[in-house]
A and B are shown apart, each in its own frame.
Chain A
Amino acid sequence: MAERRALDLDSPAISDRFRLFNFTRRDDHVAYLWVLRAMDRLREVHRVQVDAGEVQGALTELARLHDEVPTFDGNLRDRLDALYEDGVVHRFDDASRAGNLVRYRNRQSVYQFSELGYWAYTSVEGLLAARIQDANLSRLVFSDILEDLKALAAANRAGQGEQVYRRLSRLDSVMEDMGRRSAHFHVTLGEIIRSTDASPETFLRYKNALLTHMSEFMAELDRYLPRLAAAVRDVETSGLASLLDRAAAADERPFMDRHERLEDWRRRWSVLRAWFAPEGPEESRAGELRNATRIAVSGVIALLRQISEAQRGGVNRATQLRHLAEWVWNAPDEGAAHALMGAAFNLRSARHLGAAHEDTEQISPRNTWWDAPGVEVSVTLFRSGKAPTTGVPTPVRGNPGARAALRREQAAERAAEREAAGHLVGMGAHGRELDDAETRVLLKLMTRALEGRTVVAGRLRRGSGADDAVMIRLVPSDRGSAVRTARGLLHLPGFRVEIAGRTPVAGSRAGGSR
């Protein structure tokens, strides 16, 4: 609740209050802290207004208990005055009459904590007192939340306005607490992980408890999450509008009108909802928390590995590498540095001489390299500085011109053939002289027809042959026939030639094969 009130402050008021913390930024902030501690000690025994002497006395007392209390050589008054300037303490002048100037100038001031100053001091102390031991994920809270949600739904159904308000505000504070705790826990954990070089012992001491804590929390969360989501929906089915209405009605904050209160409760409810039962595809905040916890567990395990590695050898990789860096940098020459790096990293490459004898067997191993013949080496390589090649591979020649010409030729031939076939179909093969093109087509077709005809009982049946435009039929005929061509007469004993276009083929063949 305190946080929300803070939102109402305007900026001058905020900077006024921030001024209260000035003492933490001064050069010897620790000394100021001890002064305030002394004053707080006096305040505990109801000595509210104190002078410098009393503060000094309290400090001396504290110094007996704590070694780190600084000594103030007469400048305690300055410190107290500085605190007065910051507004942490009030200063009152000693009201008794001085009588002469010296006494007037040495007149004592008395100091007292201002209300806000006391708050500032306690919050600083609170901050200093915060320990990682406090951090935890509150896993037991889930059952309370579930119970509250159920009671809330029941109260709403029963129309108990005050009960609705009570449950809802409890839920609200529980949720706030949970959010704060989990944030606290993860921040603390992050800090442990980051600062572990300094104190791995703390971490190692608690590692098991920590891991158990986190995994138990996750298990609990997994167990409760569906039930909590169902409970939230159940509350909503009991009538969200009337619920919020009742809560707003029972809310007694006098400085808000009803509408504002309603709006406030609506916002709180949506936050609660987002924790357990989100709308739309995004993960609920509880789910996010679970993920964060899971990641944290793996972080802890990685850290554990790092620490145990470090403890095993008394050194870890990082310190070793730092040590090596210094060693390498101080090496007297590059050769030594590379030898050092190669050996420390354990990185190197095998090295061998090129070129080998084709037939190793023929040279006696008792020969010296002096006496043995040299290996075959490409002389071109050394003469020209370029490796010998088998010659440049000839490029594949794309020959589009020639290809196009061939294609044209072929197309012309086909066209001529088709024309001749057309004539044959139109005018038949008999009773006229065929020119060369027509003869070629006819002979081609007849070759096919003769290959395809069948012999049945020693007698040739008629055959037919076709290309894509023309169909030829050799019909048995007693008289035989002859075809006149430009090159002479073609005798066809026992057959007559019938020629037809390809289109009516189906019909004519049906007739022919009968």
Chain B
Amino acid sequence: MTTRARAAVGVSAADLGSYQQAVRRVLTCDLITKERPRPGVLDQVLRWADEMTRDFRELLGYTLIATTHHVRLVRHLDVLDETQRSIFSRKGKPFDRRRLAYLCLVLGSFQRSRIEISLADLVRTFTPLANSVGGLGFDPAIGSHKAAVVDVLGWLVDRGALRLSDGSLEWWARDTERGDALYDIDHDICAVLFKPARPVQHLTSAAGLVHEPPHANPVRRARRLLTEFPVVYYADVDPEVADALRSPCLAEDLVRFTGLALERRAEGVMLADPGGVFTDRPFPGRGNAVSRAAGLLLAKIADLLEDPEHVPERLPVPALAADQAGLVARMDTGLPRDGVVSELAWSAAEAEPVSPGDRPAPAEAPFVERGRLESMTTELYDEFGAASFTTAWQQDARGLLDAVVAFLADLMLLRPVPGGVLVLPAALRYRNIRAALPTRTSGGQLALVALPAPAPQKDPSAWEHAPAQEEER
């Protein structure tokens, strides 16, 4: 590695914490404005704008756009990611395709020469646009269409792209004829929100949305993977990137940059977040049913894997690159070819064929069948009481299991495969959650006292003692 200034050089030791917090904010919040995510954050972040801009550029190749009104990180994307659904979501619900399409159309219909727009006018310009997209359309008489517009405008208002100056959106949603709302348009924010790597209309494939061919600059790529993703397994990345990841100096820079704790193991490396907020998928979360069930399921899986009587089947982990290719192919099926400006079209560089000997042998991971996962969930419902998984999931153990598996897959702890899941190595770092499971009578550990069948609501207190001791062990 070249001799290069370390991260956060100009920052004194006393200020490092504040600097790292600002970095984490920028990496997790899509757009920071005076009100978003909270008043006061913008000032905290702007204090470090110059240092951060330099570090982001040198370490990761990112561009930080910082003005006195907003801060936005323009990333250098290496992969397409279908799990980032919390960005385009509102009140915890990810947008469906209709909302996503509406968002594009609404954002595209703000003319530079207009500084404000009423909802009625907006709908007037937006409706023909929506109707011109086959099957999309907008009809104010259809409630779901209106709800989609409401969510889209809410999303824009949250980010400060629109500012309500009169009327109200709810009024319009109730009564399209008479209700109206007047919005100021912040064109700077509108412009800064949409930052594709290449003009979208020049693309003949979704692969063009990624910035550079995957083999360029492995060191920065390694840093980006470590900064953006929960775990990086050496087996998933190219050999050059894996080498870069093994370099101690790379990790040290990132630890100083983000303030996270480095965890290096034989299978891979990760930055662990002791604070638990430097993420869009908090785990272990704070009282969220899915994240709690996810932890308990990991505990059950750890139990199973350590059961001497159970010999897990080990299967090769499918390569992430194959997943990417599949995702790109899926995205490309939707590409409207008519809209592509073919004269200037970008086409993917010929992917150099990877010789089979080049790639490391795919790692193997223990396989847990779907049926077993379902019985684990049933056990959890029996042991903890269905009601403790909140009313939303009380009657829907399968649904919770699906949500949990998807959640753990997003965290790169499980890998769904046909018929079940593969348990990825980092999942085992949460094995201590087993202490939360009630004392088992099997698995070689005999309960000293056979507990009388406890009433469901007393469950937690009845188990208070034994697991606590176990935890301290």
Contact = CB atoms under 8 A, between A and B. Distances in A.
A378 to B, nearest CB: 7
Interface in B307-342: 327, 330-331, 333-336, 339-341
A360 B193 CA distance: 39
A374 B306 CA distance: 13
B229 interface: yes
A114 to B, nearest CB: 42
A405 to B, nearest CB: 41
Size range of the interface on A?
Answer: 35 or more
Given A348-B84, A377-B433, A328 B284 contact: no
Nearest to A331: B334
Given A318-B108, A348-B84, A350-B228, A376 B426 contact: no
Given A321-B107, A374-B428, A349 B433 contact: no
A365 B341 contact: no
Given A328-B334, A350-B28, A353-B426, A336 B82 contact: yes
B295 A369 contact: no
A375 interface: yes
Interface string A317-358: 111111111111111111111111111111111111111110
A380 B471 CA distance: 11
B57 interface: no
Interface string B421-448: 0000111111111011000000000000
A255 interface: no
Contacts of A302: 112-113
Given A327-B336, A344-B209, A377-B295, A320 B199 contact: yes
Interface stretch (A236-244, A384-392, A501-509): A384-392
Interface stretch (B2-10, B171-179, B264-272): B264-272
A305 B260 CA distance: 43
Given A355-B276, A365-B266, 11 more contacts: A302-B113, A317-B194, A332-B330, A338-B87, A347-B88, A349-B28, A351-B280, A353-B231, A353-B279, A369-B427, A383-B467
Interface in B82-139: 82-88, 94-98, 100-105, 107-109, 111-113, 129, 133-136
B387 to A, nearest CB: 10
29 contacts: A313-B201, A314-B341, A318-B108, A320-B194, A321-B108, A321-B200, A325-B102, A325-B136, A326-B133, A326-B134, A327-B334, A328-B104, A335-B83, A339-B80, A342-B84, A342-B88, A343-B81, A348-B87, A349-B280, A352-B270, A352-B279, A353-B429, A354-B284, A355-B272, A368-B267, A369-B426, A372-B429, A375-B432, A377-B433
Contacts of B29: 349
Nearest to B227: A350
A452 interface: no
Interface of A: 193, 299, 302-303, 305-306, 313-315, 317-357, 360, 365-370, 372, 374-387
A360 B265 CA distance: 11
A303 to B, nearest CB: 6
A382 B200 contact: no
A349 B207 CA distance: 20
A354 to B, nearest CB: 4
B104 A375 contact: no
Contacts of A326: 101, 133-134, 136, 336, 339
Nearest to A321: B108
A contact face: mostly helix, strand, loop, or mixed: helix
Contacts of A351: 228-230, 279-281, 410-411
Interface string B259-296: 01111111100111111101111111111010010011
Nearest to A323: B339
A312 to B, nearest CB: 9
B74 interface: yes
Q: Which 5 A-B pairs have the closest CB atoms?
A: A321-B108, A330-B334, A335-B82, A325-B104, A356-B272
Contacts of A315: 199-202, 341
A329 B136 contact: yes
B222 interface: no
B201 A329 contact: no
Contact of B274 (A318, A331, A356, A372): A356
Interface string B49-87: 000000000000000000000000011010011111111
